[in-house]
Amino acid sequence: MPNEQAIRFARPGGPEVLELQAVAVGEPGPGEVRIRHHACGINYIDVYFRLGTYPQPLPGGLGMEGAGIVEAVGPGVMHLEPGDCVAYASQPPGAYCSARVMPATHVVRLPDGIDFETGAAMMLKGLTVQYLLRRTLPAQGLQPGDHVLFHAAAGGVGLIACQWAKALGLQLIGTAGSQAKCELALAHGAAHAIDYSKEDFVARVNEITGGAGVKVVYDSVGRDTFERSLQCLRPFGLMALFGASSGPVPPVDIGLLAKKSLYLTRPTLFSHLASREATQAMADELFEVVGSGAVKIPVERRYALADAAQAHRDLEARRTTGCSVLLP
């Protein structure tokens, strides 16, 4: 199947290394499926792959989530058939394309009522929030009324987390880099929002919690927030570092955890998506909370596939809020 289009790059670098190329897409092999994309999700992890922070064989593609229609299934694929409307968050990278052959393990049917743009925008981010709020929990668990701190609360993951936390009865304290982004987090369900460009978030968390601290910090920022985030935790609290948009955290002196007997974890989505059954169970919970209206997926920006480089410029410059998609 020649004449398909895909974003490819041959060397690590800035957005300028991304090129739109004609590619041939063949038939799916055992355990594989061919999908024609109607929308492709954009995530900060794509920047890490482009920069080489997360190495991959080159030349290669980008993109970890998408939504579209199944065109063909390979031998051994029992849960999908041609014509199914589907979405996925999956490795290997390669979702920035008009069509692809890929492993079927992480591909799930989209329920009626969830369109392709929403599906493409929500899978990686929504499943990330699912494993954080539902599976990455402090020793005491989380109960309604508990405070949690969530950095980058106005981003794609953050806005889903604000809504889902509210649905669970949690008091989410979100941080963001401007007053406008703080207002956006509040509008999506955050109980409190801290503009870290103007406020000391440690002092504000202490004020909000009456000096008790939060049970858990969910941190995708990394280097710029890590040590101060530890100061926000109550005794036996959990530091969940799930990204590093400001850069990797330097080697950690675990003695920092001793004062309050803190827990530290570095979870990843694909550790949780270890099987088709686990993927389906997590997706079912995401579909339920979206289908109920408790969580709405904010698709704020749409780009043509050929404009992937501009999408990356906007993402790295923090000009985006909510979710963005590429449209083949």
Cis bond before residue 298 (omega within 30° of 0)? no
What pairing do the DSSP bridges indicate for beta strands 65-73 and 107-109?
unpaired
Long-range contacts of 202-210 (CB under 8 A, 24+ apart): 202/228, 202/231, 202/232, 204/173, 205/147, 205/149, 205/173, 205/232, 206/232, 208/147, 208/173, 209/147, 209/234
Could you report the per-residue pLDDT of 129-168, keeping only the tens digit for each?
A: 999 999 999 998 999 999 999 999 998 899 999 999 999 9
CATH topology of domain 4-124+272-327: Quinone Oxidoreductase; Chain A, domain 1 (3.90.180)
219, 245 contact by CB (below 8 A):
no
Q: Using one digit for the tens of pLDDT, what is the confidence trace for 125-136? A: 999 999 999 999
Angstrom distance (rounded) from CA 61 to CA 75: 25
Residues in the chain: 328
Is the model's pLDDT at 325 over the cut of 70?
yes
Question: What whole-number distance in Å separates Cα of residue 316 and Cα of residue 283?
Answer: 28
pLDDT at 116: 98
- Is 60 exceeded by the pLDDT of residue 27? yes
Exposed / middle / buried, residue 211 (Cβ in 10 Å: 0-12, 13-18, 19+): exposed
| Residues in a beta bridge with 7 | 20
Q: What is the reported pLDDT for 2? A: 55
> What is each CA distance from 75 to 81, 89, 233, 323, in whole angstroms?
11, 21, 50, 34
What residue ranges do the domains of the chain occupy? 4-124+272-327, 137-266
What does the pLDDT read at residue 320? 81
Average pLDDT of the chain, as a whole number:
95
The order of strands in the sheet holding 4-9 is 19-23, 4-9, 60-61
1, pLDDT greater than 60: no
Is 147 within 8 Å of 171 (Cβ atoms)?
A: yes
pLDDT attached to residue 7: 98
In this prediction, residue 298 carries a pLDDT of: 82
101 in Cβ contact with 34 (< 8 Å) = yes
Check whether domain 137-266 has CATH 3.40.50.10140, yes or no: no
Parallel/antiparallel/unpaired status of strands 299-304 and 263-265: unpaired
| CB contact at 8 A, 205 and 213 | yes
Crossing angle (nearest 10°) for helices 308-316 and 44-51: 100
Give per-residue pLDDT as tens, 184-211: 999 999 999 999 999 999 999 999 999 9
